[in-house]
Amino acid sequence: MNCKKAGVLISASVDGELSASEEQGFLLHLSECKECRVEFDDAKKTKLIIQEKIIQFKAPDALIVAIMQLTSLNTKEPHLYE
């Protein structure tokens, strides 16, 4: 694997989206390439910082019910293109 390909895979690896074979090739490259390893480590740190800063809120139950009802209605109506 070259640095260009590894650079494309960094984000996917940080997010756990690589297949086993892709991850294996990517990690092999990182073991041999200091520049890509530093870039990968920076990407992991950035993701951790973002996760720490995100504030998650639970939607009110009434909103969840309303959305589910709308979704249910939309799936029961015939589509114009059918």
pLDDT tens profile 7-20: 999 999 999 999 99
Please check the confidence at residue 81 and state whether its pLDDT lies above 70: no
Give per-residue pLDDT as tens, 22-75: 999 999 999 999 999 999 999 999 999 998 888 888 899 999 999 998 887 666
- Distance (Å, rounded) from C-alpha 28 to C-alpha 82? 50
Residue 71 included in any domain:
yes
Confidence of residue 76 (pLDDT cuts 50, 70, 90): low
Residue 25 included in any domain:
yes
Residue 65 included in any domain:
yes
Residue 32 included in any domain:
yes
Cβ atoms of residues 41 and 30 within 8 Å: no
Q: Which domain holds residue 49?
A: 3-76
Other beta carbons within 10 angstroms of residue 27's beta carbon come to 16
Question: Which of the two residues, 34 and 81, has the higher pLDDT score?
Answer: 34
For residue 9, give the DSSP letter: H
Residue 81 included in any domain:
no
Counted domains in the chain: 1
Residue 82 included in any domain:
no
